[in-house]
Amino acid sequence: MSKSVIIIGCGIAGPVLAMLLKHKGFDVVIYERQSEIQQSGLTLGLSPQTFKVLNILGLAEPLLKECQALDEGVTYSQVRKQELGRIDVSRMRRGFGWPLVLAVRTRYCQFLYESAKERGVEIHFKKRCVDVLQEDERVTAVFEDGTEAEGDLLVGCDGLHSAVRDILFGKEEVTYMGLVQIGGFSPTPEVLKSDKATMRQFFGDGAHFMGAPVSSDQMVWVTTIPQPTEAREDWRRLSLEEAHEMVKGLQAASWENGPKQLIAGATGVTKYGLYERPILDIWHKGRVVLLGDAAHPTSPHIGQGANQAMEDCYHLVRLLCKAGPFTDTSLETAFTEYESIRIPIVRKSVAQAKKEGERRVTVGKEACDARDEAILAGGGHDPERMKVQMELIMGPFVGESEI
Ligand SMILES: Cc1cc2nc3c(=O)[nH]c(=O)nc-3n(C[C@H](O)[C@H](O)[C@H](O)COP(=O)(O)OP(=O)(O)OC[C@H]3O[C@@H](n4cnc5c(N)ncnc54)[C@H](O)[C@@H]3O)c2cc1C
């Protein structure tokens, strides 16, 4: 008997989960609240975990062609006016089989959506999930337009503001972290033209700037700054007038050797506040389970949000395959094991990202000196962050995939 899965959300996790489930013979339908795939956001760092999971579907190599692989990372102290170190990122491919890349989020979403459609996944837009009912081993998703959908189980892949999470565990506000990021895309300025694909980080006093190539002639840049008044988590592209107004007061707009030129050349600018939610001890209730940002939103400073979502997809599908016939008991076992594998890892990832965000906005000469000294001693990276990141990118499996 076929097993039917309802997925709420067609961001990053939703389509990948759907394709993996379909690949293993499940019936699957995605419901997305937007009227089309979202055309907003900047870039996502994709590390080997994403490629390992997409390789199960034959999508890793095609995705690589859509992304910019990075060769090196250079860290610079804007306080000391000194380079703090250089890391050879290209060795990641040698060590882990897949590189570290930057994906333009809109392009990545479109790629996943098209791939899911090609594989026959049914996707419905303009379907905002507002309730989930569970009765007699069936789950019903209720949508804002009054329609309903029924399945054997439901996965909430509906992001930071997950409605499914609120429905399961009660509404709780997301917490503004006191940081905003302002970023955009710009033509590569003369001063940053290079044979190597280099991600550059500039650590200042109370501000951080990152610039990296997304193609042979375009770069993405993002500056992180503290802002006590809450800024919306809004990935909308600003109008040129709004953008001009926004960037002229930025500290990094006067930093030479890249930041100044990138900010001045911006063709589109986005500003968003960073938010967090506690990581729950349990991600499921009955036949409904959370995945990706719905379960564990993260600040973006170590580039793990999208990659951790891929690990969730891998383990959930692997465990659902192992579960045999869907009964309340077999699903309870699968969901409990999924949580016991994933929760310790995402706790580590989210905590490290938060710490990295705080380090980026270090204030005061003495504190900045201590931070810069640590990066210098680590050869261009904070050793603790590197240790955690190296552990994370080993996931979700070593050797052969089990699905
Ligand atoms: C528009 C947007 C832009 C982003 N840009 C960046 C970026 O530039 N850099 C970065 O590091 N991270 C960005 N993120 C976050 C990043 O995509 C996620 O951290 C990560 O990829 C995890 O993916 P996810 O699928 O769990 O969540 P998401 O990618 O957030 O996807 C969730 C999906 O669920 C849909 N949804 C939400 N509520 C409902 C509902 N009630 N019913 C039906 N559907 C619903 C949303 O519309 C969305 O498509 C962005 C997220 C969004 C939504």
Choose the residue to mutate in 7, 31, 44 for probing ligand 1, maximizing ligand atoms within 8 Å of C-beta.
44
Unique residue bearing structure tokens 């007699």 = 136
Query: Please, which residues have CB within 8 angstroms of residue 79's CB and are 6 or more apart in sequence?
Result: 203, 204, 205, 365, 368, 369, 372
Residues with CB under 6 A from ligand 1: 8-14, 31-34, 38, 40-44, 105, 127-129, 157-159, 163, 235, 292-294, 300, 305-306, 309
Query: Please, which residues have CB within 8 angstroms of residue 391's CB and are 6 or more apart in sequence?
Result: 348
Report the pLDDT value the prediction gives residue 246, as an integer from 0 to 100. 81
Q: What is the mean pLDDT of residues 57-76?
A: 96
Q: Is it the case that residue 401 has pLDDT exceeding 80? A: yes
Ligand 1 center–CA 94 separation, angstroms:
31
Report the pLDDT value the prediction gives residue 63, as an integer from 0 to 100. 98
Instruction: Pick the closest to residue 55 from 306, 321, 345, 400 (CA basis).
Output: 400
**What burial class does residue 51 get, using C-beta atoms within 10 Å of its C-beta: 0-12 exposed, 13-18 middle, 19+ buried?**
buried
Give the model confidence (pLDDT) of 114-169 as tens digits: 999 999 999 999 999 999 999 999 999 999 999 999 999 999 999 999 999 999 99
Ligand 1 center–CA 109 separation, angstroms:
10
Q: Which helix (H) or strand (E) holds 116?
A: helix 105-118
Give the ligand 1 atom nearest the CA of 160.
Answer: 30
Ligand 1 center–CA 223 separation, angstroms:
20
Give the ligand 1 atom nearest the CA of 292.
Answer: 26
Q: What is the mean pLDDT of residues 101-126?
A: 97
3-state secondary structure of 251: helix
Give the ligand 1 atom nearest the CA of 162.
Answer: 38
Unique residue bearing structure tokens 């998703």 = 141
Q: What is the mean pLDDT of residues 231-250?
A: 79
Supply the DSSP symbol for 329. H
Instruction: Pick the closest to residue 155 from 371, 312, 1 (CA basis).
Output: 312
List, in order of start, the domains of the chain with CATH numbers: 4-174+277-392 (3.50.50.60)
In whole angstroms, what is the distance from residue 335 CA to residue 293 CA? Answer: 17
Give the model confidence (pLDDT) of 245-282 as tens digits: 888 889 999 999 999 999 999 988 999 999 999 999 99
Whether 67 contacts 102, CB under 8 Å: yes
Residue 383: cis peptide before it, omega within 30 degrees of 0:
no
Model confidence at 91, in pLDDT bands (50, 70, 90)?
confident
Ligand 1 center–CA 363 separation, angstroms:
31
Residue nearest to atom 19 of ligand 1 (CA): 305
Model confidence at 94, in pLDDT bands (50, 70, 90)?
confident
Residue nearest to atom 10 of ligand 1 (CA): 44
Give the model confidence (pLDDT) of 174-195 as tens digits: 899 999 999 999 999 999 999 9
Report the pLDDT value the prediction gives residue 357, as an integer from 0 to 100. 95
Q: Is it the case that residue 240 has pLDDT exceeding 80? A: no
Report the pLDDT value the prediction gives residue 120, as an integer from 0 to 100. 97
Report the pLDDT value the prediction gives residue 383, as an integer from 0 to 100. 85
Instruction: Pick the closest to residue 39 from 220, 236, 203 (CA basis).
Output: 236
Unique residue bearing structure tokens 């006016």 = 81
Residue nearest to atom 27 of ligand 1 (CA): 159
Choose the residue to mutate in 105, 124, 179, 220 for probing ligand 1, maximizing ligand atoms within 8 Å of C-beta.
105
End-to-end C-alpha distance for the chain, whole angstroms:
20
In whole angstroms, what is the distance from residue 158 CA to residue 138 CA? Answer: 20
Residue nearest to atom 35 of ligand 1 (CA): 9
Give the ligand 1 atom nearest the CA of 31.
Answer: 43
Query: Could you tell me the two tokens for 151?
Result: 């399945």
Report the pLDDT value the prediction gives residue 1, as an integer from 0 to 100. 60
What is the pLDDT of the chain when averaged over all its residues?
A: 94
In whole angstroms, what is the distance from residue 35 CA to residue 125 CA? Answer: 5
Determine how many CB atoms are found less than 10 A away from the CB of residue 100. 24
Instruction: Pick the closest to residue 258 from 206, 299, 220, 302 (CA basis).
Output: 220
Ligand 1 center–CA 11 separation, angstroms:
5
Give the model confidence (pLDDT) of 310-336 as tens digits: 999 999 999 999 999 999 999 999 999
β-pairing verdict for 153-156 and 4-8:
parallel
Instruction: Pick the closest to residue 292 from 2, 53, 103, 71 (CA basis).
Output: 53
Query: Please, which residues have CB within 8 angstroms of residue 171's CB and are 6 or more apart in sequence?
Result: none
Unique residue bearing structure tokens 């997409």 = 54
Q: What is the mean pLDDT of residues 27-47?
A: 95
Report the pLDDT value the prediction gives residue 248, as an integer from 0 to 100. 82
Ligand 1 center–CA 386 separation, angstroms:
26
Q: Is it the case that residue 228 has pLDDT exceeding 70? A: yes
The Cα-based distances of 127 to 105, 172, 299 in angstroms read 22, 22, 27
Q: Which helix (H) or strand (E) holds 38?
A: none
Sequence length of the chain is 403
Model confidence at 56, in pLDDT bands (50, 70, 90)?
very high
Ligand 1 center–CA 12 separation, angstroms:
7
Q: Calculate the dihedral angle through the C-alpha atoms of 343, 60, 107, 320, rounding to the nearest 10 degrees.
A: -40
In whole angstroms, what is the distance from residue 101 CA to residue 215 CA? Answer: 11
Q: What is the mean pLDDT of residues 379-384?
A: 85
The Cα-based distances of 105 to 42, 120, 240, 325 in angstroms read 6, 23, 21, 37
Report the pLDDT value the prediction gives residue 204, as an integer from 0 to 100. 97
Give the model confidence (pLDDT) of 320-378 as tens digits: 999 999 999 999 999 999 999 999 999 999 999 999 999 999 999 999 999 999 999 98
Give the percent of the chain with pLDDT over 90: 86
Whether 147 contacts 161, CB under 8 Å: no
Ligand 1 center–CA 155 separation, angstroms:
15
